[in-house]
Chains A and B, each alone.
Chain A
Amino acid sequence: MSDGSIDLKAEARAKAYAMPLEDINLADTEMWRTDTAWPYFERLRSEDPVHLHPAHHHPDGAFWSITRYTDIMAVDTNHEVFSSEPSITIFDPKEDFKLPMFIAMDPPKHDVQRKIVSPIVSPANLHLMEPLIRSRIQSTLDSLPIGEPFDWVDKVSIELTTQMLATLFDFPWEDRRKLTRWSDIATAGPESGLFVTDDHETERRMELFACVDYFTRLWNERVNAPPKGDLISMLAHGEATRNMDRMEYLGNLLLLIVGGNDTTRNTMTGSILAMNENPDQLRKLQANPDLIPSMVSETIRWQTPLSNMRRTATRDFELGGKLIKKGDKVLIWYASGNRDETAIENPNAYIIDRERPRNHLSFGFGIHRCVGNRLAELQLKILWEEILPRFPEIRIVEGPHRVASVLIRGYSSMQVVIPVRT
């Protein structure tokens, strides 16, 4: 490629190995916008796999970076020592704006709330939803322009995941793009460009209050009606959730909106990018569509839509010869574990028929393992089952542009052209 991206990577690699270890800052959003974290991870995995970043690397202070597959697994499965409270992101919760959600709770509260939500994404329920998901994906693909550039992120990835969310919530269809907006707002930092004033925190809160007001109307409708299979109805009638206060309702809504939206959306875009960078893999898939499920898992590994999760140590704990102190903040970097050459063969390559494509870290492991993993896989599987017979090629003509986020590995836009439809 001669688009300069390789140069940027070579430059980042040289820099990664030249700088003192203690200067490596994985919380630098610029590193994520430019997709240049890889050589730093490679170096940390081999030289300092349990690494302490100094306090000045992030506004919320010092943090550990765990970069090897097996160490990440060890932390993720030890929820007694590595708590998901008070937050699962590098940011500490704001004292005056706490959003309780079960992804950031420990047992027993986590367990009860998770069990309310998980039936909606059970294999049996997904089976029932499949025809509807498929018909919506078909009409979205059928409406795409042929021979002229358009933004894949907006027209396909956002549209499809937003439709899916609207279906799960039984959300008013014509208002569904509000869901996209709330998802973006919930995770947006100052550099996102989503805010009009400098006081982005006030703006964010106002929009999120509008979100909870809207959903409270839906709640009130459903709590007074017989229970049905959508998420709001399940929460409104669920033993463990029906007495949630406003902030807890908002927290759990945002968990589902962000969890079900950004991650799947960015994997949809990532799948097109991966195929553009690896045309041999696309030909392999076209020759053998039975590889779709395996290709979906490989794409989720390769993309790693959430780069990390944060844990907080509940007591002193020794890991990899280092002493993690009670109260310390620990980031487990799925993005790095998924590129760990000691756990995954040839990890930097995108190989759709890998031997064990499901053995990746992108959904996390242990009691918080992604509840929506089957739904995400199903959407991607159907998307590709419907792309293959329609479009022999989806060519990237500009971008992708990546979001500047330490948590979300994603894309804000990517212009493509579909030359012909078969």
Chain B
Amino acid sequence: MAKITYVEHNGTKHVVDVKPGLSVMEGAVKNNIPGIDADCGGACACATCHVYVDEAWRDKTGERSTMEVSMLDFAEGVKPNSRLACQIKVSDALDGLIVQMPESQH
């Protein structure tokens, strides 16, 4: 299990255990954490699972894929640490990960 902290835009924190193999998006959805819509169910096709990865975790969460880059291109408020949560796979190495949600998903 990896402990992941999801921080809502208003600052509310949700700390949950997520099974390795799931995505960071699934970790939120399965625990009913608000702020991630995941309209496409994880196919990297909607950009409604946009999160900001805490600076300390950017290297460990890897690089964006080409498809992810083009989907993020149309999201709101994109920053250098923006990622699509469905494209980050949870592993033991991500134990302690912190992600923040944007104001809203477009």
Contacts and interface: CB of A to CB of B under 8 A. Distances in A.
Nearest to B104: A123
A173 B41 CA distance: 41
Contacts of A123: 76, 103-106
A252 B70 CA distance: 22
A114 B48 CA distance: 17
B44 interface: yes
Contacts of A358: 37-39, 48
Q: Is the interface of A mostly helix, strand, loop or mixed?
A: loop
Q: How many residues of B sit at the interface, in one of the four size bands?
A: 20 to 34
Interface string B64-106: 0001001101101000000000000000000000000001111
A356 interface: yes
B5 to A, nearest CB: 24
Contacts of B43: 73, 77, 365
A371 B78 CA distance: 16
A107 interface: yes
B40 interface: yes
B73 A111 contact: yes
Contacts of B44: 77
Interface of A: 73, 76-77, 107, 111, 114-115, 118, 122-124, 356, 358-359, 363, 365-367, 369, 371, 374
26 contacts: A77-B43, A77-B45, A107-B70, A111-B73, A111-B74, A114-B74, A115-B73, A118-B106, A122-B106, A123-B103, A123-B104, A124-B104, A356-B41, A358-B38, A358-B39, A358-B48, A359-B38, A363-B39, A365-B40, A365-B43, A365-B46, A366-B45, A366-B71, A367-B71, A369-B46, A371-B74
Closest 9 A-B residue pairs measured CB to CB?
A365-B45, A123-B104, A77-B45, A358-B39, A366-B45, A359-B41, A365-B40, A122-B76, A367-B70
